[in-house]
């Protein structure tokens, strides 16, 4: 008698556990989550809820623009896929916690800590925007010469007085940085900020961008640019990168690259979030 073998059905190709249930069955995967993992997930949820209640602006950050949406949704999807794979292949709970929790904490600290922490700086400068705008501080000092006089008593006979001649014109040399133009910061793209921006030229011809009374909302990966044109909200052609923002609060100075020529006209001092390509604050400065 010949044995008849039945060809394997398609269902036989699906990976199963020892009891015959599919190893990708959602109920089985959820059942592999340990009590410790549920507790940690609950703690994370409570902490995130408390942070959003304390600082509601956090809720706007993930949907601020296309880049933030992609970052938020993409990160969530990748974390979900990683969890399913780790559960499917029976990775130990401790390893699962480390693999998922550590990146989550690092990413959220980078994104959310600026909402609660200020970077305060206070760089000194030999003059100020306000002093030069109201004229209380003169940026130049005259170079004067004193004509030698006759030494009285050197002779018994007085020499005749020489006729007075008009003073020759005297050149004035800058005694310190000269303000080329100034403006006031305004918040952009839903961010808040106040303060003054001024472009100065020093006695050696170098130029700097100065922030005073500066106080803006903090954020990740903030950079400073000088952008040609008024009220700019993006990095236009000819933008000059001046470096990372030194602090979201306080007076600070940024050197323009050596040899930078500034044609007369408006410029925007722009604080820009490099990570998500979004503007934070800007001030229009007109160079005369």
Choose the most confident range, by mean pLDDT, from 67-76, 106-115, 253-262. 253-262
178 strand-pairing partners:
201
Question: Tokens 């000819």, residue?
Answer: 238
Instruction: Give pLDDT, residue 288.
Output: 85
Contact by Cβ (8 Å): 199, 185: no
- Mean pLDDT (the chain) is 84
> pLDDT tens across 203-231, in order?
999 999 999 999 999 999 999 999 999 99
Q: pLDDT band for position 178 (50/70/90)? A: very high
Q: How confident is the model at residue 59 (pLDDT cuts 50, 70, 90)?
A: confident
Residue with tokens 């998500």: 276
Q: Which two tokens stand for residue 144?
A: 């004067």
189 touches 271 (CB < 8 A) = no
Running DSSP on this structure, what letter comes out for residue 258? Answer: T
- Residue 160 confidence (pLDDT) above 70: no
For the segment 109-133, the average pLDDT, to the nearest whole number, is: 92
Which residue do the tokens 């780790």 mark? Answer: 86
Contact call for residues 213 and 194 (beta carbons, < 8 A): yes
What pLDDT, on a 0 to 100 scale, did the predictor assign at position 7?
55
Question: Which distant-in-sequence residues (6+ apart) come within 8 Å of 114 by Cβ?
Answer: 217, 218, 219, 220, 248
Give the per-residue pLDDT at 80: 92
Tens digits of per-residue pLDDT, 134-150? Answer: 875 555 444 444 444 44
- Which strands form 193-201's sheet, in the order they lie side by side? 178-184, 193-201, 207-216, 252-255
Mean pLDDT of 161-181: 68
232 pLDDT tier (thresholds 50, 70, 90): very high
Percent of the chain surpassing pLDDT 70: 79
Question: What local confidence, expressed as pLDDT, does residue 140 receive?
Answer: 47
Average pLDDT (67-86) is 91
CATH code 2.60.40 region(s) in the chain? 129-137+175-287
Is the separation of the CB atoms in 173 and 143 below 8 Å?
Answer: yes
129-137+175-287: which CATH number, 3.20.20, 2.60.40, 1.10.530, 3.30.70?
A: 2.60.40
- Average of per-residue pLDDT across 161-189: 76
* pLDDT at residue 173 in the model: 60
């Amino acid at each position: 008698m010949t044995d008849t073998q039945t060809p394997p059905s398609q269902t036989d190709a699906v990976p199963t556990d020892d009891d015959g249930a599919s190893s990708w069955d959602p109920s089985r995967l959820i059942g592999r989550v340990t009590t410790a993992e549920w507790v940690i997930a609950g703690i994370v949820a409570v902490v995130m809820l408390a942070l959003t209640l304390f600082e509601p602006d956090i809720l706007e950050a993930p949907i601020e623009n296309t880049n933030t949406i992609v970052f938020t949704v993409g990160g969530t999807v990748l974390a979900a896929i990683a969890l399913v794979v780790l559960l499917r292949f029976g990775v130990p709970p401790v390893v699962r916690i480390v693999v998922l929790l550590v990146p989550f904490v690092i990413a959220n600290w980078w994104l959310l800590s600026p909402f609660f922490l200020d970077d305060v700086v206070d760089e000194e400068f030999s003059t100020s925007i306000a002093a030069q705008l109201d004229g209380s501080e003169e940026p130049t000092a005259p170079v004067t010469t004193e004509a030698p006089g006759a030494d009285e008593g050197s002779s018994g006979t007085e020499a005749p007085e020489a006729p007075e001649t008009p003073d020759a014109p005297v050149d004035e040399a800058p005694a310190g940085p000269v303000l080329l133009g100034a403006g006031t910061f305004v918040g952009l793209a839903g961010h808040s900020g106040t303060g003054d921006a001024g472009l100065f030229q020093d006695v050696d011809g170098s130029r700097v961008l100065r922030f005073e009374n500066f106080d803006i909302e903090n954020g990740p990966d903030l950079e400073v640019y000088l952008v040609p044109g008024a009220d700019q909200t993006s990095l236009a052609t000819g933008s000059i990168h001046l470096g990372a923002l030194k602090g979201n609060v306080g007076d600070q100075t940024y050197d323009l690259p050596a040899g930078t020529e500034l044609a007369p006209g408006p410029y925007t001092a722009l604080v820009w979030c490099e990570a998500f390509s979004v503007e934070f604050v800007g001030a229009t400065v007109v160079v005369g």
